Amino acid sequence: MKKFISSFIIAGVLIGLFSPSLIAEAATKLTVTTDVLRVREKPSTTSKILGNITKGAVYTSNGTSGSWYKITYKSRTGYIHKDYVRTSTTSKYTSTGARYTTVGTLNVRTGPSTTSKSVTQLNKGVKVASYGTSGSWTRILYNGSYRYVSTQYLTKTAPSSSSKQLSVPYYNQYSLGYPSGCEFVSLKMALEYKKKAVSAASLYNQMPKSMKNATYKNGKYYWADPEKMFTGNPAGTLDYYKNWGIYPKGILPLAKKYRSGAADISKQGVSKIESEIRSGNPVIVWATVDFKNPYGYFSWIKPDGKTFTGYRNYHVMLVTGVSSSSFTVSDPYRGKYTVSRSQFTSVYNTTGQYALSVR
């Protein structure tokens, strides 16, 4: 079992605070479609009638309440029923077309920042109207207001609801004799699917590794950089500061030796993993045992003097399939199983979004 994980704690970059004046509202115009429409004092058919308006009259919506639009009628607040008006929207921003959400819990925020308030969450496959971008955020029109969603979770085409499964051969890291070798055993499975059969022993010998465990001095631990080499020995047993792992940058040269198109697709979101799978490319992902939340944080000093932080239930596996509700993984420890999209996305984001596509 791969019990431990080493990864950078990636801090979100704050884009800044945005004043309310920057959250522009879009004007929704209401055109009466019936001959005579009653304007009521409150949003109810039993409420007092303030007056009547006729077909073709145009008003600006001041908001909604259930099945009613709020308008200003003769300097007073009134309500008209939604069934008897046609809506149109004027925007201060230029439309950049429709977009579709690619994840199941996409936050809609008041500003282009993770510190901005989330007003709702959108399901996967929801169509939204986009109005340009602000940094890594896309501006959308939501309930008459301009809001923001992360661009990496949008696509121009509706996500396919069909399932895509790759027939990848399976190998177990323990059966092969490498209790800590989940990274190169995952690579072995992917390479074999791509018609490049390489023995586990050969991959083990070629993969850069420190072959030494962490050292303790003056109250601090010192160890190798997992973005350059495996920390410890993949054939050894697991423990704190012993035989941990290697990240995409460290193992990519080995992958490219056998598949020149192999690519580090870290930090590109879950939608990139799905795109690679649907294109026929298995993806190695850095996550946790059983896709549970990471725990047991610990740190050491790398040779460059910087601190690396990892956590106890580190594990690496191969993604071999995708559907509208889940991802299929070939786990070199646990076997083959599916992980719900929401759980997969949550853990993948929390562990830093590390992945390598074997093309």
Query: Contact 27/90 with Cβ under 8 angstroms?
Result: yes
Q: Is 38 helix (H, G, I), strand (E, B) or coil?
A: strand
| Token pair recorded at residue 222 | 């010192």
Task: Please give the average per-residue pLDDT across 191-197, as a whole number.
Answer: 97
Output the pTM of the full model.
Answer: 0.61
Evaluate whether 212 touches 320 at the Cβ level (below 8 Å). no
pLDDT score, position 7: 37
Beta carbons of 89 and 144 less than 8 angstroms apart? yes
How confident is residue 159, by pLDDT bands cut at 50, 70 and 90?
Answer: low
Length in residues, the chain: 359
Q: Going by C-beta distance under 8 Å and a sequence separation of 6 or more, which residues neighbour residue 338?
A: 321, 326, 327, 328, 329
pLDDT at 15 over 70: no
Look at residue 57 and give its three-state secondary structure. Answer: coil
Alpha-carbon distance 18 to 10, whole Å? 23
Yes or no: say if 273 and 263 are a contact pair by the CB < 8 Å rule.
no
What CATH number labels 5-10+163-357? 3.90.70.10
The per-residue pLDDT for 157 is 80
Same fold, 27-90 and 92-155: yes
Q: pLDDT tens digits, residue range 197-218?
A: 999 999 999 999 999 999 999 9
**Mean pLDDT, residues 20-27 taken together:** 42
What pLDDT score was predicted for residue 28? 81
DSSP 8-state class, residue 239: B
- Taking residue 27's Cβ as centre, other Cβ atoms within 10 Å add up to 13
Main-chain dihedrals φ then ψ at residue 213, nearest 5 degrees:
-90, 175
3-state secondary structure of 186: helix
Domain ranges of the chain: 5-10+163-357, 27-90, 92-155
Question: Mean pLDDT throughout 258-283?
Answer: 95
Q: What three-state secondary structure class fits 76?
A: strand
- Please compute, for residue 139, the number of CA atoms within 13 A of its CA located in the half-sphere on the CB side: 20
- Residue 162 contacts by C-beta under 8 Å, 6 or more apart in sequence? 323, 324
- SS3 helix, strand, coil % of the chain, rounded to 5? 15, 35, 45
User: Which of these, 343, 292, 286, 293, lies nearest to 319 by C-alpha position?
Assistant: 286
Beta strands 307-311 and 263-264: pairing type?
Answer: unpaired
pLDDT tens profile 36-71: 999 999 999 999 999 999 999 999 888 889 899 999
DSSP letters along 207-227, please?
Answer: S-B--S--EEETTEEE---TT
As a whole number of angstroms, the distance between CA 281 and CA 275 comes to: 9
User: What is the Cα–Cα distance from 183 to 255, expressed in whole angstroms?
Assistant: 11
Residue 267 and residue 332 in contact, taking contact as beta carbons nearer than 8 Å: no
**What's the confidence (pLDDT) of residue 263?**
97
Stretch 274-292: mean pLDDT: 95
Find, among 328, 301, 297, 299, the residue nearest to 313 by Cα: 297
Mean pLDDT to the nearest integer, 70-95:
89
Q: How confident is the model at residue 171 (pLDDT cuts 50, 70, 90)?
A: very high
CATH of domain 27-90: 2.30.30.40
Judge: domain 92-155, CATH 2.30.30.40.
Answer: yes
Query: Residues of the chain with pLDDT > 70: what percent?
Result: 91
